[in-house]
Each structure stands twice: as C-alpha cells, then as structure tokens.
Amino acid sequence: MPDDRVEDTEHEVSQEFYRDEIAFDRRRTRRRRRRGVLRALAVLVLIPVVLVAAFLVSYVLTCIAGGATPDEVVELLGGLWERVRGAAFDLARQLAGVG
C-alpha cells in the first residue's frame, strides 16, 4: 500500500507539471500571435509612411537642385500640401456620392 501512495503522488506531480507546461505553451502561443499581428500592423502603417517620407525628401532635394531657396522650398511644400488636400477632399466627395 505505501507504494500506491508514492505512485499516486508521482502521478499527481507529473499531471501538475504537464498542466503547467500546457499553460506555458498556451501563453507563448498567444504572445507569438499577438506579436505577429503587431508586426503586420506595423508593416501596414510604416510602409506608406516611409514612401511618403521618401517622396518628400526627393521633392525637396529636387527643388534644391533646381536652385530653390529655403523660402521657396517652404512655399512649394505648402502648395504641394494644398494640392494633396484638395485631391483628398475631391476623392472623399466622389466616394460619398456628392458632386
């Protein structure tokens, strides 16, 4: 009979260890999924931001290479911003079905 108690205790310990391992694995899997989703969102956000930044840098450098002064560059960027804003409003109006 004492051997039965030892076996039961060993079985309980192994079951507890197994439960702990399964819980750890579930947490690790959730973390991996969460990180994957965050990585995908970061890519979706950062790619357009990097492309816009590259375009702006290229535009400014082209203006400077063309002989524009800093004040003219600021004016050109302001004009660019107004054109982009106007195009965005036009697109929003078209999507809404107005006009």
pLDDT at 26: 94
pLDDT computed for residue 32 by the predictor: 96
Contact 66, 76 (CB under 8 A): no
Across 1-16, b (16+ Cβ under 10 Å) vs e yields eeeeeeeeeeeeeeee
| pLDDT at residue 69, as a whole number | 95
The CA dihedral of 51, 54, 60, 64, to the nearest 10 degrees, is -150
Per-residue confidence (pLDDT) for residue 4, from 0 to 100: 57
Q: What is the pLDDT of residues 6-65, one digit of tens each?
A: 566 777 777 888 888 999 999 999 999 999 999 999 999 999 999 999 999 999 999 999
Verdict on whether the full-model pTM lies above 0.95: no
